[in-house]
Amino acid sequence: MELSSKYLKIWKRCRPLLKKGRLGDFEHAEEVIKVILNYKGKLKLDYEILIPVAMMHDIGHSAILPEHFKYVTGPEKITNGKLVHMLTGAKIADDILKSVGYENKKRKEIVDMISVHDYDQLKTGEDLKKIYNTENKRIFHDIDSLDRYNEKRIKNIKKIYPNEKELLTVLKNMLKLFFYKEFKEIAKEWIDKKYSSENGN
């Protein structure tokens, strides 16, 4: 993965934190960066915003230690964990961007995006268009969401939904959360390919 020195400064600070976080966070960040760098669609991508967000969006998990989870309680434990990692990640990202002298206006936008990037998983019933209220937020949401449909991520989701029919329903329901048709169609293709090959079609 070839990155300019501007992004390498950030990536150098991110990598140890991502490796300290959840299993797979580092690989996920790499995958999302690659999707952005290799994008050939119709949308105009703002690399100066999207690449740092891709690097740092899940960095907050590095600050949530196993012993912290006893304090993340109640029926919404997973949801609360998501909220904590977004807010913690926003603070860590802000510190990293300040340390590398990233342009102030761009830094604020990146931090804002990280603080809400998984908001669709909180199930608040709010209108998501009000939360993902910029094109950068919507584009990143969809690119980040695409990773849920790759082979490796589906295996992880299977641990939560071992019933194949229920898993397929969950994956199809998540398609409704995409903002852009082109990303939704890629995710749908991956679902169709996976399940048609498993059924011998």
Q: How far apart are CA 190 and CA 159, in angstroms?
A: 19
163 DSSP assignment: S
| Confidence tier at 90 by pLDDT (50, 70, 90) | very high
Angle at 195 between CA 192 and CA 196, to 5 degrees: 75
In this structure, whether the domain defined by 5-198 belongs to CATH 1.20.120 is answered with no
* Predicted pLDDT at 75: 53
Q: What percentage of the chain has pLDDT greater than the value 70? A: 87
Q: How far apart are CA 48 and CA 8, in angstroms?
A: 12
Q: How far apart are CA 164 and CA 175, in angstroms?
A: 17
In sequence order, which residues have a C-beta less than 8 Å from that of residue 201 and are 6 or more positions away?
none
184 HSE (CA, 13 A, CB side):
11
CA distances from 177 to 22, 146, 184 (A): 24, 11, 9
pLDDT tens, position by position, 122-158 = 878 889 999 999 999 999 999 999 988 877 777 767 7
User: Please, what is the average pLDDT of the chain?
Assistant: 87
Instruction: Give the distance, in angstroms, between the CA of residue 54 and the centroid of all CA atoms in the same chain.
Output: 7
Region 161-166 average pLDDT: 78
pLDDT tens, position by position, 65-74 = 766 666 665 5
Domain boundaries, the chain: 5-198
Two tokens, residue 195: 């399940």
Runs of H (alpha helix) within the chain: 5-20, 25-37, 47-56, 77-99, 104-116, 128-131, 135-146, 151-160, 164-174, 181-198
* Predicted pLDDT at 38: 94
Region 24-50 average pLDDT: 94
Region 167-177 average pLDDT: 87
DSSP sequence for 33-80: HHHHHT--SSSPP-HHHHHHHHHHTTGGGGG--GGGGGGS-STTHHHH
Number of C-beta neighbours around residue 136 at 10 A: 18
